[in-house]
Structure 1
Amino acid sequence: MTTRDPAGTRNRILDALETLLLEKGMAQVTLESVAAAAGVSKGGLLYHFKSKDALLAGLVRRLGRRTEEQVRTVVDSGQSVAEWYLQNPQHYDDADAHELALYRSMLAAMRTVDGPVDQSGDETDRALFEVLDSWKGVLDNEIEDPVDAEIIRLVGDGVYLRALLGMPPVDAEVYRQVVTRLTGGSSG
């Protein structure tokens, strides 16, 4: 007897979407291509996601859940959220599976953006805005000075943008010094 696993199917669809975005880009993402990559019918995909926008928003919301889980892990371990946010994605070779999943999800989500992200826009824009805004809140909670928190957020965003564009990473020693300076000497 076969049991249905809606969460498993839903994640398989989102994994397929993520892979298509990372390997081929947004132009190649259709409901049909995602369904084929996930090994489900188009009707099966539409059962879980009523439209392409809902599918993309589902990917971004999963990114949000992964981010919340990772932030909880960082906080529970006593680590600095700022240092975690400033991680250089190219150094994820040694990272655990959760960090790698978060990184892949973030890169895939960024590839869904085809214009300014508008919190009053479509479902995908709203979901991405919520995820990005939640990171700002976490940094604001840890860093007393709101300007320092914003600088850390902007540098972390820039690091991810470099990774998204496939640019080479900043020299590891220089980057360590950047993190140390931004976090008040607590890194190292």
Structure 2
Amino acid sequence: MGRTAMITRDRLLEVAEDIVRSRGGAALTIGALAQAAGVSKGGVQYSFASKDAIVRALIDRWTAQFDALLGDPPPEDPVLFVDRYIAATRASQQALDAKMAALLVSYLEDPANLRETRAWYRGVFARLSGDGPEARAARVAFLAVEGLFLMRINGIDDKDSWAGLLDDVEATLLRLIETPVK
């Protein structure tokens, strides 16, 4: 009798990422994950009760990775926050392609996930609050980066121009804080 394959929750998430990256979010099912990981469906369900639980775990994993890249800038410095946000976005986009981003969109179909995402954005805008030119420039740069992310989700941007567009946002942010608009 053969030994039962042992697989960790993290390994299942790695395999799930591979499925999404190669075949898209719709291809991620408990059965597909079990087959790709070489375990039974029950083995997958031991770690994740449903596809939604897998997606949630993937989102949590990506969020933790992004937060680690972002670091902990002080909320009273909106320019530093957005500068780090641009750097974290630049670094994380190598791993997050349009297929992964599409999975994020399906994640938001759940009202609880949407509430959590909205709360996260409210927290970001609280860090970017203020009436001064630096706060305004930081908000505009943040919105530009988020717009680039939406373009990436919709396949409008290609990988070759992504870094250049982030460079443009960053250069514009620095120019705006050097010569504030009155």
Instruction: Specify if TM > 0.5.
Output: yes
Larger Rg: 2
Moved over 6 A (4+): none
Cα-to-partner distance string for 1:15-56 (whole Å, 9 max, x where unaligned): 111221122112211111112223332111101111111111
- Between the two proteins, the alignment pairs up a number of residues equal to 165
Corresponding residue for residue 81 of structure 1: 81
Corresponding residue for residue 63 of structure 1: 62
Task: Give 1:167's match in structure 2, choosing from 130, 154, 157.
Answer: 157
User: Cα offset for 1:162?
Assistant: 3.0
Cα-to-partner distance string for 1:77-98 (whole Å, 9 max, x where unaligned): x993312323596xx5xxxxxx
Cα-to-partner distance string for 1:95-120 (whole Å, 9 max, x where unaligned): xxxx44x75358555222566935x6
Distance 1:140 1:53 in 2: 30
Normalized against structure 2, the TM-score is what? 0.66
The alignment status of 1:157 with 2:146, answered yes or no, reads: yes
Gaps of 5+ in 1: 93-98
Corresponding residue for residue 38 of structure 2: 39
The alignment status of 1:121 with 2:120, answered yes or no, reads: no
Q: Please, what is the CA RMSD of the aligned residues?
A: 3.9
Q: How does 1:15-54 map to 2 (within 5 A)?
A: 15-54=14-53
SS in 1 for 2:12: helix
Q: How does 1:142-153 map to 2 (within 5 A)?
A: 144-145=130-131, 148-153=137-142
User: Cα offset for 1:156?
Assistant: 1.1
User: Cα offset for 1:133?
Assistant: 4.2
Gaps of 5+ in 2: none
Identity across aligned pairs (percent)? 22
Normalized against structure 1, the TM-score is what? 0.65
